[in-house]
Structure 1
Amino acid sequence: MMKAVVFNPFSGLSGDMIVASLLDIGANKKLVKDAMTSVGDVDVQISKANKLGISATKVKVKSNNDQVTSYKKIIKMIKESGLGDSVIEDSVSIYERISDAESKVYETPKDRLRSQDVGGFDAIADVIGACAAFHNLGLDKCEIYSTPICRWEWFENTTRGGPPITSPIIMEIIRNSCLNTKYRTGPVAQETINTTGVAILAHFINECNVFFPKIQIKRVGYGEGGKHPEIQNLLRTVIGETDEKLISDRIDVLEVIVDDITGNALGNLIQELMSSGAKDVAVTPANIKKGRPGYMIRVMAHPADTNRLIKKMVQEKGSLSTMVMPVKRLITNRQIIPTMINIGRNRREVNVKIATDTRGSILNISAEFEDCKKVAVELGVSVKEVIRMAECVAWSRLSGIEKKTYSCESKKRLD
């Protein structure tokens, strides 16, 4: 079975609520607290709470420095914190997501941004704490889901003026995440979500659904928000197991139809899109309006790369419109292992790709073509023979069969 995690923000969402819910579910308190206090002068208090009859964990972060830090300095402090590589990488990515949103909303270069909402040391501690707890629980190996964020709108005054209802930064983060189509409002005239919480959730989740996925629940944790005593200001996090044998992933499929492009320009466009982050590009001949022959260009992209790839198509081709379709795909676990093979008296290394399901069962073994081609050209043998030998050796190693080397002369095959 595969582990799955569901964040259920039924009554609010903030950075400290995410940390608290992960602690409530079993994350190591000392490890998380040490991580949160590793950057900036902050005090972190972790306690149990009872919110309208529901037992929960509460995390309170107090900054002893009211200074608002620039995004550039925040990234530098996180990278120099001495935390684990995974925690640093995720924390930086979350702040990059926030800075991208704020830069767009306020039309200000990222290196000049200084946010009162997320530039304080308490917000930095929340981001780092959430990432530390996430990896401490091993959730990076799980499928991560969320139900729609239930939030309530309000007006407030900031240094930039009074924004309408919810912060424009939050709206921009939601728009560029799996959360964007699942946004909804609640019946109470007050706000219960913040920028840090939304950015953390947007970074980690793979999919957002109205209903819980089909899982066998193993653990449940609640994180208290500490505000709005008249409602259950709580975040619920659930860890369970699913029968899925493959990993689900969310990508965008971009489609554009063209009829005025040469073969050379089409080949160049494909190369440009792949080098700009596209997962794959496919071109299909098509009959379009007025019976003209044309091409349908289909691009598979990570949602975070969608806008950049659309811009690239406009620059290269002048496309006036692009269809964007969010889709779910099922993928295998993939691992590259170096495999030694003997060809005559020559010993060479070839990389082999191993595909497995979530239970570890081998689904496919495939030798890397470019590696095999290089060996074949160098030693004057066929690519087909190099591929066969590399895959046989890999199957032998991974199937627990006695390791053997296969040569072109013997042409031995795996039984």
Structure 2
Amino acid sequence: MKALIFDPFSGASGDMILGTLISLGADRNEVCEAIESTTDVSVSIEKVSKKGIAAVDVNIIVDRETHSRHYHEIVDVILDAKLPKPVEKDVLQVFEILAKAESKIHDKTLKELHFHEVGQKDAIADIVGSCTAIRNLGAEEIFCTPINVGGGLVETSHGTLPVPAPATLEILKEGGLFFYGNGKREMLTPTGAAILSHYAKPIENMPQGKAVSIGYGAGKANIDNPNVLRIMITEIEEPISTDRVEVLETNVDDVTGEVLGNLFDKLLKLGARDVVIIPATMKKGRPGSIIKVITRPEDSPKIAREIIRETGSLGIRVLSTKHRFVANRKITTIEVDICGQVFECRIKVAEDKNGEIMHISAEYEDCKKLSQATGMPLKEIIRRVEETSWDAHLKK
């Protein structure tokens, strides 16, 4: 799995995040075009040395700054930029994280909310550029180690505030990110916190894997330690395979058991990976059922159509899942001695990606036939087949 891991041992800000992503290989032309199409700035990107570490330094050059903006004004700026839809969605969600934190701290509605520092052109540029760069790198997962927020006090448009600033702390709380304080100045800005909160899952330690590439983004602080943000692309080895699925779900309360049984078989023939029908109590105490189907995303439309045709449901919920973990499965045949006779029986073998056997199960229909042929109880046939199978595989 290709994972993007932020390591903010010296804090994070919007320009530091943008610098690390460009250092890591994000297309700087695409990033600059996105920024300059959104707001009236120019972008300067250069290499600098921070305490001996080569890092990318991004400067957003603003000719004329605007006054503070209302939240809805920033939303309009983003929508007017006509960014690619996935990037636009991410940018709006980052600003929503900022807005909700500021709204709570200042006890203002989103409609009343003014952005000061994060409403300026350079902050908009940092967020648009970072969201564009992350999409450009195409990581499957994004993680963040504990963030150094610094310490002491910071000067803001609202006066002198403790570090982390109240809005920053609120974002950390809502995002569930791990953090600690080490230093005498602000090391994590609200913009940096919002970007990391939107994208990254918190981790306490680096996961086991192989570093593919590493980047450093320069901060502006002049401190004893290197003021850089480190980021890396890591190949994290997953012992279990994955595939992509969707879960379709609907509630019905006027469908007979015969219809549901027929639907069950039809959906499996159409390619459903699994079908579950759960008894439920509906409105006004009526008995009903919850139909849940696991399917490949490309099969969802035809399966949803069949559910509607057969049950009369007016809508099918799609429970989006990024992926599921699956064992590699194969069916093979084993010879088993039962009452002095040797029979063949099929078994299902589940393995991880390294070939390690995780589970063995006897094929029901074959075991049923052996039970009928020998007169031995079905559960004993299953036990013997699986026991023989494990013994045979462990000897290999």
> How would you bin the TM-score normalised by the shorter chain?
0.5 to 0.7
Question: Once the 2 structures are TM-superposed, how far is the Cα of residue 376 of structure 1 from its aligned partner?
Answer: 3.2
Does residue 8 (structure 1) correspond to residue 7 (structure 2)? The answer is yes
Per the TM alignment, residue 161 of structure 1 is displaced from its structure 2 partner at its CA by 3.2
SS at match of 2:43: strand
Structure 2 counterpart of 1:200, one-letter code: I
CA distance in 2, matches of 1:353, 1:89: 31
The corresponding residue for 1:166 is: 164
Q: Which amino acid aligns with 1:199?
A: A
Q: Please show how residues 200-211 of structure 1 align to structure 2 within 5 Å.
A: 200-206=195-201, 208-211=202-205
Q: State how far apart, in whole Å, the 1-side matches of 2:270 and 2:105 are.
A: 45
Which residue of the partner structure matches residue 374 of structure 1?
308
- Alpha carbons of structure 1 residues 354 and 243: separation in structure 2 relative to 1, 3 Å: farther
Any conservation in 2 of the 1:178–1:205 contact (CA below 8 Å)? no
Compared with structure 1, are the counterparts of its residues 69 and 354 closer, same or farther at alpha carbon in structure 2 (3 Å cutoff)? farther
Q: Deviations over 1:271-302 (max 9, x none)?
A: xxxxxxxxxxxxxxxxxxxxxxxxxxxxxxxx
- 3-state DSSP of counterpart to 1:22: helix
Distance 2:154 2:14 in 1: 20
Checking the alignment, whether the CA contact within 8 Å between 1:351 and 1:371 is kept in structure 2 is no
Partner residue, 1:227: 221
Q: Which has the larger radius of gyration?
A: 2
1:237 maps to which residue? 231
CA deviations over 1:52-77 (Å, ceiling 9, x no partner): 11111110112223212221111111
Paired residue type of 1:183 = F
> Which amino acid counterpart does residue 333 of structure 1 have in structure 2?
R
The SS at the match of 1:217 is strand
Query: Shift in Å at residue 159 of structure 1?
Result: 3.5
TM-score, scaled to structure 1: 0.60
Give the equivalent residue in structure 2 for 1:395.
Answer: none
Structure-2 change in CA distance of 1:334 and 1:43 (3 Å) = same
Structure 1 segments, 4+ long, off by >6 Å, are 366-369
8 Å contact kept, 1:151–1:191: yes
User: In structure 1, how many angstroms separate the alpha carbons of the residues matched to 2:65 and 2:87?
Assistant: 25
Q: Is the 8 A contact 1:57 1:224 kept in 2?
A: yes
How far did residue 194 of structure 1 move? 0.7
Task: Spell out, residue by residue over 1:9-50, the C-alpha distance to the aligned partner (whole angstroms, 9 max, x if none).
Answer: 011200111110010011111111111111221121000111
Aligned length: 270
- 2:125 and 2:311 map into 1 onto residues whose CA distance is 54
Q: Secondary structure at the match of 2:159?
A: coil
Q: 1:183 aligns with which of 179, 183, 191?
A: 179
1:222-244 deviation line (CA, Å, top 9, x unaligned): 00012224321111111011122
User: Paired residue for 1:98?
Assistant: 98
Residue 197 of structure 1: which of 188, 192, 200 is its match? 192
Superposed, 1:283-362 pairs within 5 Å as: 333-334=244-245
* Number of the residue aligned with 1:55: 54
Question: Which aligned pairs between 1:398-413 and structure 2 lie closer than 5 A?
Answer: none
The answer to whether residue 73 in structure 2 is matched with residue 73 in structure 1 is yes
Distance 2:154 2:41 in 1: 26
- Asked whether the 8 Å contact 1:336–1:352 carries over to 2, the reply is no
Q: 1:111 to 1:365 in 2, by over 3 A?
A: closer
| Structure 2 residue identity aligned to 1:74 | I
- Counterpart of 2:231 in 1: which secondary structure? strand
TM-score of the aligned structures, taking structure 2 as reference length: 0.63
Counterpart contact for 1:335–1:353, Cα < 8 Å: no
Mark the CA change 1:126 to 1:352 in structure 2 (over 3 Å): closer, same or farther. farther
The answer to whether the Cα contact below 8 Å between 1:39 and 1:78 also exists between their aligned partners in 2 is yes
Q: Distance in 1 between matches of 2:19 and 2:223?
A: 17
Change (3 A) 1:373 1:213: same
Asked if the contact 1:9–1:235 (Cα under 8 Å) also holds between the matched residues in 2, the reply is: yes
Residues 4 and 145 of structure 1 are in contact (CA less than 8 Å); yes or no, is this contact kept in structure 2?
yes
Match of residue 256 from structure 1 = none
| Gapped regions of structure 1 (runs ≥ 5) | 248-330, 338-347, 356-363, 379-415
CA RMSD, 1 decimal: 2.7
Distance 1:35 1:354, change over 3 A: farther
Report percent identity of matched pairs.
Answer: 31
In structure 1, give the amino acid aligned to 2:34. Answer: A
Query: Cα distance 1:56–1:158, how it changes in 2: closer, same or farther (>3 A)?
Result: closer
Given residue 85 of structure 2, which amino acid in structure 1 is its aligned partner?
D
Q: Distance in 2 between matches of 1:47 and 1:21?
A: 12
Amino acid at match of 2:310: A
* Alignment check: 8 A CA contact 1:335 1:354 kept: no
Give the C-alpha shift of residue 334 in structure 1: 2.0
* Structure 1 contact 214–242 (Cα < 8 Å) conserved: yes
| Rounded Cα–Cα distance in structure 2 between residues aligned with 1:245 and 1:226 | 41
How far is the alpha carbon of 1:335 from its aligned partner?
5.1
Aligned to 2:211: 217
| Separation of aligned partners in 2, 1:135 and 1:158 | 31
Aligned-pair distance for 1:113? 1.5
Cα pair distance change 1:245/1:128, threshold 3 Å: farther
What is the CA–CA distance in structure 1 between the aligned matches of 2:240 and 2:81, rounded to whole Å?
A: 36
After superposition, the Cα gap between the structure-2 partners of 1:146 and 1:246, relative to the gap in structure 1 and judged at 3 Å, is farther
1:39–1:121: 8 Å Cα contact kept in structure 2?
Answer: no
Contact 1:65 1:121 in 2 (8 A): no
Looking at structure 2, the residues matched to 85 and 34 of structure 1 have their Cα atoms a distance apart, in angstroms, of 15
